[in-house]
Amino acid sequence: MAIETTTDAASTLGGLAVLARGPQFVAIDKPVGLRSTPALDTSAVVSSDHKRKRQERWSEVAAHNASDEAATTLPAELASGLRKLGEDAASVPRKRQKFVRYCARSLKADDATAEALWGHLQRQLAAEEASEGLEMTDSALSRVQRAHADAHAVHRLDMETSGVLLIALDEAGAASLGGLFERKETSKVYEAVVAGSPDADEGEIALPIRPDVDRRPLQVVDHEHGKPSLTRWRVLERLADRTRLELTPVTGRTHQLRLHLQAIGFPILGDTLYAHEEARGKSDRLMLHAKRLAFTAPQSGEDYDIIAPCPF
């Protein structure tokens, strides 16, 4: 079923338009400029002492959640994972990607379980920091958590990108829904406005991507060390100096759509990271929108085709 955005007040959550609801999830229309998940507010200078204390706090959270008492309310697989993490809590990485790799290596956990463990520990850490008066940035997830304390984002959109964002309502939902993204059992469609006009009406971009280690968070095309990345595109509308495209990311690398389009000479308007100066100046926002997400809910078997109309 296709579910379109409504502006009815009953269909909002934390001030965000709700596109769809299911037993294990809520899908919201994330506005441009809002983070998908919270981060520590770094508007103030963060001292090295604070960073050290935050690492210590993270290890303490991992150790505490390994206890039988803390794990009793969690699904058995997650409770078992937490107990194993607690056996060497000081070694548990704080960075998300390193954490997922650590879980795969040390716990033999799949990515969905690792993401669920990560979300659980992050919420515990956020609660600890809030109790000490440390501020976290606003985010789609934190707004949903006001009504659903155990909510967890199972995928992310760049802060500059608007559109469909799926949020699991509990740990079990995070594990099962996260598995859909890991196994590539979702269909995602984006809409973008780019500078220039491609000769063809449709095509594919197959360029390998890796992080630019010297200029994070930028990504670069690297034919030797990059991960295989594939984007399909088709023209929706041609205008004088720009083109509206529909984009289907077959893989889901960081900044994939932005980098792929820049690499073939058609940067997205308003892209402050990858577009040239002229293309950046043609829009006051990144002209990229996640307009559609389709999947089959693991628990109910119901098919969802969730649509957020493009705002530009």
Pair 12, 70 in one domain: no
Active-site residues: which are they? 158
Asked if the model's pLDDT at residue 45 lies above 50, the reply is no
Considering the domain boundaries, does residue 141 fall inside one? no
Confidence grade of residue 53 (pLDDT, cut at 50, 70, 90): low
Q: Which residue has the tokens 């967890």?
A: 152
State the maximum Cα–Cα separation within the chain, in Å, rounded to a whole number. Answer: 64
CA proximity to 167, closest of 43, 71, 305, 28: 28
Q: Which residue has the tokens 């007040």?
A: 9
Task: For residues 28 and 21, give the distance between their C-alpha atoms in angstroms, rounded to a whole number.
Answer: 9
pLDDT recorded at residue 94: 73
Pair 22, 165 in one domain: yes
- Tens-place pLDDT, residues 65-78: 655 444 445 566 66
Pair 174, 29 in one domain: yes
Average pLDDT over residues 300-304: 93
Pair 156, 191 in one domain: yes
- Residue-averaged pLDDT of the chain: 84
Task: For residues 129 and 214, give the distance between their C-alpha atoms in angstroms, rounded to a whole number.
Answer: 30
- Strand segments, DSSP code E, in 178-241 are 187-195, 202-206, 209-211, 219-221, 230-238
Pair 181, 278 in one domain: yes
> How big is the chain, counted in residues?
312
Considering the domain boundaries, does residue 142 fall inside one? no
What's the structural domain count of the chain? 2
Average pLDDT over residues 246-255: 95
Considering the chain, what percentage of its residues have pLDDT values greater than 70? 77
Asked if the model's pLDDT at residue 259 lies above 80, the reply is yes
Domain membership of residue 67 as a residue range: 48-136
Pair 73, 195 in one domain: no
CA 210 vs CA 48, 92, 103, 312: distances in Å: 29, 24, 22, 30
Dig out the tokens for 190 from the structure: 């984006």
Which residues partner with 28 through β-bridges? 18, 165
Considering the domain boundaries, does residue 143 fall inside one? no
